[in-house]
Structure 1
Amino acid sequence: MTKENLTKLFSFKTLYLALLAFVILHLILLVFGLSFTPILWNSWFFILCLTFLIHPWRIFYRTRDFQWYHLIFQLFSGLVALYLWFAAFFALSIMSDPVIPINIDYRIQDKEIIIVRGFVVHSTYEHHELINPFIMKSEVEYNEDTF
């Protein structure tokens, strides 16, 4: 493969389409009562946020001459993007019933995945049946409320 073919193969359009295909596949699984586990959703969310950070900078560097102060701006924008990622990740983790299972706190026990929703004062433990390491049933088997 030539260098030009490799750059076309690994373009941002291809990455965005792969991320969109993941979401569409998740929606198809929801029709059958299944869902991807937080392991895959957390990785997907991180790759999406990282792509949203890198893509504009790649466009910027292709259209402008390199200057040393651009690195400082990129460092600050990377820090802001990291803070926004943490804030969005935390907000999605404490939502009571989101469609996508992005979550900070989850654990796998036997054939069950336990997702902890809520925040310090009120936490809910959602128990889902685990089909394989990457797919779980979307219906909650039962909830444990703790105060």
Structure 2
Amino acid sequence: MRKYRHLFRILYLILLLFVFVNLLLGFYGYAFTPLLWNPWLYLGAVTVFCHIWYRFYRNHAPNWQNLVSVLLSLFAMAILVFFIELFFSFDGHDLVTIHSEYYIKEKTIVFQRGSLLDAYDEYHELVNPFVMKKKIKKKVYID
């Protein structure tokens, strides 16, 4: 039982270290790409969900009512994660690059932002496949 608590602590520390490294990169004008931020979001959600249910089942006996509540809370967690991803996709934030609509073209990463009437593409220069420059190289509005 104690090994699982240490596993959760290690996972939380790794997730927190990732955010601190991104903050340090931000001081120099760089940021991690969505290739790293998107799995970070999903791993964090799964870790929190598993930790909550591990603590719950440690004190309660499993039965059908608990199984139904697990499925409903998993559905709620999935909706919350997708809402966070959509929020960061439509509204560009400098610190966090969680994004659902992006593609890599040669040495640039292109974020498709905005909504139906005010859609635009942001072009950022890639340093390597996992790190990009935060400064927008060019912005192209889609008519």
TM range (shorter): over 0.9
TM-score, normalising length: structure 1? 0.90
1:139 matched to 2:135? The reply is yes
How much does 1:15 deviate?
A: 0.7
TM-score, normalising length: structure 2? 0.92
Identity of aligned residues (%): 33
Q: What stretches of structure 2 of length at least 5 have no aligned partner?
A: none
Match of 2:68 in 1: 72
CA RMSD of aligned residues (A): 1.7
Match of 1:39 in 2: 35
The code of the aligned residue for 2:34 comes to P
Q: Is the alpha carbon distance of 1:34 and 1:62 closer, same or farther for their aligned partners in structure 2, counting shifts above 3 Å?
A: same
14-23 or 45-54: which moved more? 45-54
Q: Give a deviation string over 1:67-114, Cα, whole Å, max 9, x none.
A: 222111100110111111111111111003442111110000111111
Match of 2:108 in 1: 112
The count of aligned residue pairs is 143
1:58 matched to 2:54? The reply is yes
Paired with 2:47 and 2:5, the residues of 1 have a C-alpha distance of: 16
Paired with 1:97 and 1:15, the residues of 2 have a C-alpha distance of: 25
Paired with 1:53 and 1:34, the residues of 2 have a C-alpha distance of: 31
Secondary structure of the structure 1 residue equivalent to 2:135:
coil
The code of the aligned residue for 2:77 comes to A
2:126 to 104, 107, 130: 130
The code of the aligned residue for 1:22 comes to F
Paired with 1:17 and 1:124, the residues of 2 have a C-alpha distance of: 36
Secondary structure of the structure 1 residue equivalent to 2:136:
coil
The code of the aligned residue for 2:62 comes to F
Paired with 1:10 and 1:115, the residues of 2 have a C-alpha distance of: 37
Match of 2:8 in 1: 12
